[in-house]
Amino acid sequence: MYFVQPSSIVRKIWGSGDTILFIFAGAAAEFALNKAVDWLYFTGKLPSDPLGRLFSTVDYSRRIVFSKADDALKAIDQISMIHKGVEINRGANIPMWAYRDVLYMLIDYSIRAFEIMERKLSSDEKNEVYDVFYRMGSRMNIEDLPVTYSAWLISREQHLEQDLRFTELTLDLFKQYKLNLGLLRHSILLQLQRMVLPEIVKDHLNFKGFFWIKPVFAVYKLGKQFSFIKYLKDLILPIKYRKQINDLDVLKKT
């Protein structure tokens, strides 16, 4: 028995490297605005190595999405233990609303990323996405999770209204992204974030100006099965992480 069934839309979403990169482009921007972003600075992992943190998170997500139920539950419990260890070291508890915020990001950007890369999801598919993350959050003992996807939509809007603000840590985190990615890759990241972020998040980040990625992205989607597109993509990817990013494409290897 699997935590996520092999036929699930969630496996299609998390089996595509392009979709995963969109998910974390969105989450990286939104978390920089979160009122609990200081927890990232306590551990120092995301500011110092955003791509390394990406692959660490992807590894846990993969274990949950593609493993049998017992192994998935162990991965979820390990995530809880890691967070509990951080809380003990800091002598404080991560706010429950902050746990919900991170879970909500994964839900929202899973849906948004797939719809950008592939197609619109049906109501049943969105409910399926929510069910997977609801069960994950319940296992982590995250309180006050909405029971249904429709109820979650209301809660998500409330969290976006209440839990975001632009601070010096927001500015510093984006500087760290730029230092780690370089000028070209950082510019691409900002463009991709404009495609996937909710309007309220873009407003907080003052995302304005020339939006050049749409025609480039349209060409990429049309030609991504051709080798020259893969070659161009490899040129853009950081050499240190090129193989790991290409390995995100689980579905192409099955």
Distances (CA, A) of 204 to 37, 40, 81, 88: 15, 19, 32, 32
Q: Phi and psi for 250 in degrees, rounded to 5?
A: -65, -45
d(CA 82, CA 188): 32
Predicted confidence at residue 98, as pLDDT, reads 96
Predicted confidence at residue 235, as pLDDT, reads 61
Please give the average per-residue pLDDT across 136-149, as a whole number: 97
Q: Phi and psi for 43 in degrees, rounded to 5?
A: -80, -35
d(CA 205, CA 186): 15
d(CA 29, CA 27): 5
pTM assigned to the model:
0.91
Q: Diameter of the chain by CA atoms?
A: 52
Residue 36: DSSP 8-state: T
d(CA 5, CA 138): 18
Distances (CA, A) of 168 to 31, 34, 49, 78, 172: 13, 12, 19, 31, 6
**Exposed, middle or buried: residue 251 (CB in 10 Å: 0-12, 13-18, 19+)?**
middle
194 closest CA partner among 182, 176, 178, 206: 206
DSSP codes of every residue in 17-29: HHHHHHHHHHHHH
Give the number of other Cβ atoms within 10 Å of residue 19's Cβ: 23
pLDDT in tens, 147-193: 999 999 999 999 999 999 999 999 999 998 898 888 988 998 999 99
Residue 107 has pLDDT above 70, yes or no: yes
pLDDT in tens, 18-52: 899 899 899 999 999 999 999 888 877 777 787 77
215 near 195, Cβ under 8 Å? Answer: no
Residue 194: DSSP 8-state: H
d(CA 243, CA 86): 30
